[in-house]
Amino acid sequence: MNLSLSINLIIIIAISVVSIIGFGRPIIVYRLQFNAWQIIHRKEYYRILSYGFVHGNWMHLLINMFVLYSFGEAVLYYFKAAYITGSAIRYLILFVSALVVSTLVTLKKEKDNPNYNAVGASGAVSAVVFASILFAPYNPILFFGIIPVPGIIFGILYLVYSKYMAGKNIDNIGHDAHYYGALYGLIFPILYEPKLAIHFINQLLSFNF
């Protein structure tokens, strides 16, 4: 087992173990979940990371971990090709920093709302998915697990939908985290290697109609 695969699996195992324990002990979820009021007013800053290690239910956990494993392996492969060294640590930095970045807007928006809570690694998982789209924008993504859609088309629809639903604010899903996590996933690899922006554009222009 190589170092990169180990890091990906360690993240998945750690999240799964903490989430499963949390299913039977709600107090753990309470103490780890994202709550902007607790973060700002009680200075419980650890919550901007810990919320990603607990999930609402089995379906939430299984979907996130399946997507993370599938796209995480692809991103690790792309990172190895793009960077001379440090692909594993860059992947780890991407995931951990995405947990923070994806919640910054929500942190500001909900800082005075003690009743707003969020759990799950979806923002960071979105970052991993969109990092893969940066490297291979036309690789298919299975929409609803069935319909193959070019990654760039899926990405555009995902961003539009997430932004729209974040504005409506009619459910308990962290659409802001999905949206900003996804954008961050596109930007993160370019911060290390700006030439990847040119690679992305060339990939888009290479499509054969």
Mean pLDDT by 10 residues, the chain (209 residues): 67 96 95 96 96 93 92 92 88 96 94 92 94 92 76 89 77 80 95 91 78
What confidence score (pLDDT) does residue 112 get?
94
| Residue 207 φ/ψ, nearest 5 degrees | -65, 135
Look at the domain 3-205 and name its fold: Rhomboid-like fold (1.20.1540)
Q: Which helix (H) or strand (E) holds 96?
A: helix 87-101
At residue 149, the 3 state secondary structure works out as strand
| Whole-number pLDDT of residue 1 | 43
Helix (H, G, I), strand (E, B) or coil at 147: strand
